Amino acid sequence: MNSLRHYASTATIAAIAAAVLTLSGCAGMTRQEKGTATGAAIGGVAGAVMGGGALGTAAGAAVGGVIGHETTK
């Protein structure tokens, strides 16, 4: 149980760090590109939490990216 809790906290910290690093490079991006990147980051974290594993993360990032892209048109 303790190792599962450690894994979950490590994964959460890694996801947040990846999102911060990704979004910090948005200075030269258009509004729509920022929306796509933000949606992908949020979707990836949500997919990891809900689906777990690489497949859940990738699916969440893909769906989030599409939603972010479409909402910032």
For residue 13, the enclosing domain spans 2-71
* Calpha distance 67→58 (Å, rounded): 14
Contact between 57 and 41 (Cβ < 8 Å): no
Please write the tens of the pLDDT for every residue from 36-61.
988 998 898 888 888 778 888 888 89
Asked whether the whole model's pTM tops 0.75, one would answer no
Please write the tens of the pLDDT for every residue from 18-33.
777 766 776 788 889 8
Contact between 56 and 68 (Cβ < 8 Å): no
Overall number of domains in the chain: 1
